[in-house]
Amino acid sequence: MNYRKLAERAILGKVPSLKEAQELINTKDENTFELISSANIIIKEFKGNKVKLCAIVNAKSGRCSENCSFCAQSAHHKTNAPVYPLLKDKEIFDAAKASEKNMKATCFSIVTSGKSILNKDELKEIGSAIFQIKNKTNLNRCVSLGILNKEQIKQLKSNGLKRLHHNLETAKSFFENICTTHTYEERLNTIKSAKEEGLEICSGGIFGLGETLNQRLELAYTLKQLEVESAPINILNPIPNTPAAKNYSPLSPLEVLRLIAVYRFILPKADIGVFGGRELSLKNLQPLMFIAGANVTLIGNYLVTKGQTPNKDLQMIKDLGLEIEKHD
């Protein structure tokens, strides 16, 4: 397969057909480095030498009503995840300010557990934090608050929200295998409502849940149709006592690199991030995620698990000769 030719076509706006994408994602181990080097041609064209760093705060943890199979914060699973109510706006702002100062983050996301924000006081508290972040930092403002309606989105945008993070998690054809307490359409509607209100969209998935390679492609093409600005790739980090952990089958580092590369081919202009699970899945090949197609990663800790230390991430970026892109 001529990977370079496909990369050059992608740069010109012609993404791989489904048949071509199937060939790409089924690349053999011995040809994987040829694949990722071609994906690197695409990333250099659209993203240059820059990477973006996202940071998050787990602003409300645990007791989630939803039964997502991978989630430590679901009330359906008995895990050791912390449980606490929504942080105050100052606590959220302080976390954002620290991420910018100490970790060189360029985007900050406020994340809450639960299907949605049902309490007006909580929405007001989050809005106040966004307003402070907008006016007192240079960070891009993002939230991950579950399923939202248009009025909630409008209110948050008026406070200074720029981007909504709302993962589809997996392909529509596989979704019922990981969650039955809400529908795929509810997730899609939240994304569409946010787009209609002029927000940027960050949406991707979590991989290693038992989905097929074709279903990984199905999600990629769905994100393509939605014209998302950013597509985060998470690899399952199995949490004890969650359903996903019981059926866990680890992805090899080369399989993860192929996944990243194929997403770069299908979403040539989008930001592609590699977030949760990268340390466990990529192991010593972590730096290659930036060669294979990623231009974003999450710095600092995740929601309920520890991440690689910020200093290691910053050194990794420096060693690759990459620069941290500032938020405009």
Domain boundaries, the chain: 3-324
- Residues at the binding site for [2Fe-2S] cluster are 109, 142, 202
Question: 3-324, what's its fold?
Answer: TIM Barrel (3.20.20)
| Confidence (pLDDT) at 62 | 83
- Residues at the binding site are 64, 68, 71, 109, 142, 202
Residue 307 has pLDDT above 90, yes or no: no
Q: Band of the pLDDT at 328, cuts 50, 70, 90?
A: low
- pLDDT, tens digit (0-9, with 9 covering 90-100), for 164-220: 999 999 999 999 999 999 999 999 999 999 999 999 999 999 999 999 999 999 999
Least confident stretch, 4-18, 211-225, 237-251:
237-251
Residue 115 has pLDDT above 80, yes or no: yes
- Residues at the binding site for [4Fe-4S] cluster are 64, 68, 71
| Confidence (pLDDT) at 301 | 77
Residues paired with residue 108 on neighbouring β-strands, in sequence order = 55, 141
Task: For the chain, give the longest Cα–Cα distance.
Answer: 56
Task: List, in order, residues 6 or more apart from 285 with CB less than 8 Å away.
Answer: 253, 254, 257
3-state secondary structure of 305: coil
Burial class of residue 171 in the structure, from the number of CB atoms within 10 Å of its CB (0-12 exposed, 13-18 middle, 19+ buried): buried
pTM of the shown model: 0.96
- pLDDT, tens digit (0-9, with 9 covering 90-100), for 27-60: 999 999 999 999 999 999 999 999 999 999 999 9
Average pLDDT over residues 6-18: 96
